[in-house]
Amino acid sequence: MLPLLLLVALTAPAFPQQLPATDRRNTDLPGTDTHFQPHPYKTLAEWQTRAAHLRNQVRSAAGLLPEPPKTPLNAQIFGRIEHKDYSIEKVYIETLPGFFLAGNLYRPVGRPGRHPGVLAPHGHAQYGRLEHGPLFSVPARGINMARQGYVVFGYDMVGYNDTIQFPHVWGSNRELLYSFGPLALQTWNSIRALDFLESLPDVDPTRLSVTGESGGGTQTFLLTAIDPRPKVSSPVNMISAIMQGGSPCENQANLRIGTYNVEIAALMAPRPMLMVAATGDWTKNTPREEYPTMKAIYALYDKAANVETVQFDAPHNYHKESREAVYRFFAKHLLQDPNADTYTEKNIAAEKLQDLMVFHNRALPPNARTQAQIIEDWISMAKRQNQETKDPNEFRHRLAIVIGAELPTAKVLSQPAPNQRLYLGRPEAGDRIPAIWLPKPNATTATLVIHPEGAEKARTSPEAQKAINAGHSVLAIDAFQTGTAVAPRNTNARHFLAFNRTEDAHRVQDILTALAFLKQSGAQTLNLTATGNAAIWSRFAAALSPMPVTLNAPTPAHFTGTDEDFLKHFFIPGIQRAGGWPAALLLTK
């Protein structure tokens, strides 16, 4: 069986072995501007366990669990501009059927053989990959690295320059059910861009790398987090503990649950990485905060020297001095040049924008799909992959990641209260679940009763009375935001779902926590009974439970597992991508 996910809290100190006065899930709601604190990893094995979970979390959030099929790229390279020591070409590739990613290819001239390959994603500058100014310039980077002996592919963000079948900002909750959005599309584009670069006859596939700034820095560390092919990287002005990215292309639901960019970027370890920072943006603390955290993880591999940092007294940038630092770092690790410290940037003659534009006076290929068609293609692909999945444990693994729930392995804490009430919670999780506990002396069977309106309604239900009459111990809970657990919870922060679970996801967790409490209380047989929408929560909880559970939860008539049903009655991003209702039914036969 694949392991259920391990969640590590990063935003607060450890809780003592007692329940908090209020449920932390209502009050501790991290976001893109939270100041995250690192979790110290004492051993390499501990970090590697965490890293495996984080890679799956990133893949899942980006819609890449499982990975879409790699269809032919049908790469087109044309419009060559040749200079004495470098050339520039126009490129477009088909990253998904009918979707075209455009860019420019910078190559050395007069240097035979295979060369290191560099991916060059760009940030949110006005002209994207064509921006050429004092703070940002992909052309200066591409030309100078080509002169130094690299093949460089500078490619578009979605919605920039030539990559125009989608706007840069788009998406709805329906697409989130299938883990599809700007971040998913851009991350897939980066993977396919690396496939393209790797395929070129003048590129050495053992010496691939990536560097980008700002939003391109996010693309850099997301790619290196899940793809082992880049051997060297430099995310510029983006690895921060105080700001996690402001654009939808950097924030997709479930991406940073229990984590932050420093940990995601650390998945590059132990491969060489240069952290470039600036005093005038959110990387202002890098030498004192993010870099020591990163170096400690590299040190677990005995590779602390493989991560370096440099900071410039400048605003947000990928300016000449930052680029020169990257040139030197890449020359040391990719070119093995003993004179790497001497690398500087040479002036360039910028080309006219129309000479770099791929679709200037040129139509998209005739098989180009519309945005709506590509979205439906993705959804059809996800459904097809789910139908092809035969291993129930694979569905359990996928669902566990998107729901974020697990059966607690540590002892569930309980706090008695008057009138047969108590509160339950997981050590160090900060949750507080109101419950009604009706234990039966010497009973070996316990029944958990879940009602969509909470514990009091559950206690007076026919299902609870039937269990009491059968001699069972009975537990009823106020699942998250039901009954007495209803409490203020501000979900309006930007990119809320990138950092926080939905109410329905927390309800599944509460049911699993309650089941663990019953098991720890001595029950040998566990029953789970539920009605209405609580039957949906319970079905998914039973699907995730590694313990046998007898489920009595008739599916409500209004729920058949369609997209509309999930949006109205059980909203969890990624749930349809992970298998949806058929997976839950398969796991609870």
pLDDT digits (tens, 9 = 90+) for 480-490: 999 999 999 99
Q: Using one digit for the tens of pLDDT, what is the confidence trace for 49-88?
A: 999 999 999 999 999 999 999 999 999 999 999 999 999 9
In a domain, 247, yes or no: yes
Estimate to the nearest angstrom the gap between the alpha carbon of 571 and the chain centroid: 18
Q: Are residues 495 and 358 in the same domain?
A: no
Judged against a pLDDT cut of 80, whether residue 44 lies above it is answered with yes
The percent of residues above 70 in pLDDT, for the chain, comes to: 97
In a domain, 35, yes or no: no
Mean pLDDT of 94-108: 98
pLDDT of residue 10: 36
Do 152 and 142 touch, CB atoms closer than 8 A?
Answer: yes
In a domain, 338, yes or no: yes
Residue 166: DSSP 8-state: S
Domains in the chain: how many in total? 2
Q: What is the CATH number of the domain that holds 451?
A: 3.40.50
What is 204-233 written as a DSSP string? EEEEEEEEEETHHHHHHHHHHHH-S-EEEE
- Report phi then psi at 140, rounded to 5: -65, -40
Residue of 201, 198, 184, 214 whose CA lies nearest to 119: 198
Alpha-carbon distance values, 338 to 209, 341, 563 (Å)? 19, 8, 58
Mean pLDDT of 427-442: 95
Residue burial 127-149, b: 16+ Cβ < 10 Å; e: rest: bbbbbbeebbbbbbbbbbbbbbe
In a domain, 7, yes or no: no
Mean pLDDT of 216-242: 98
In a domain, 205, yes or no: yes
Last residue of a domain, one of 327, 347, 380: 380
**Structural domain boundaries, residue 119:** 76-380
What is 115-153 written as a DSSP string? EEEEEEE--S-TTGGG-BSSS-BHHHHHHHHHHHT-EEE
In a domain, 139, yes or no: yes
Q: Are residues 320 and 448 in the same domain?
A: no
CA 27 to CA 24: how far, in whole Å? 5
Question: What is the value of pTM for the model shown?
Answer: 0.95
Confidence of residue 17 (pLDDT cuts 50, 70, 90): low
First and final C-alpha spacing in the chain: 17
Q: Are residues 294 and 333 in the same domain?
A: yes
CA 45 to CA 274: how far, in whole Å? 24
Q: Using one digit for the tens of pLDDT, what is the confidence trace for 165-221?
A: 999 999 999 999 999 999 999 999 999 999 999 999 999 999 999 999 999 999 999
Judged against a pLDDT cut of 50, whether residue 141 lies above it is answered with yes
In a domain, 550, yes or no: yes
pLDDT of residue 18: 87
* Summary mean pLDDT of the chain: 96
CA 169 to CA 181: how far, in whole Å? 9
Q: Are residues 189 and 332 in the same domain?
A: yes
Q: Are residues 336 and 432 in the same domain?
A: no
Q: Are residues 343 and 427 in the same domain?
A: no
SS in 3 state form for 20-42? CCCCHHHHCCCCCCCCCCCCCCC
Q: Are residues 375 and 408 in the same domain?
A: no
Q: Are residues 91 and 240 in the same domain?
A: yes
Q: Are residues 399 and 477 in the same domain?
A: yes
Last residue of a domain, one of 341, 361, 380: 380
Q: What is the CATH number of the domain that holds 238?
A: 3.40.50.1820
Q: Are residues 507 and 412 in the same domain?
A: yes
Q: Are residues 369 and 406 in the same domain?
A: no
Instruction: Please state the length of the chain.
Output: 589
In a domain, 66, yes or no: no
Judged against a pLDDT cut of 50, whether residue 14 lies above it is answered with no
Q: Are residues 373 and 396 in the same domain?
A: no
Last residue of a domain, one of 346, 380, 414: 380
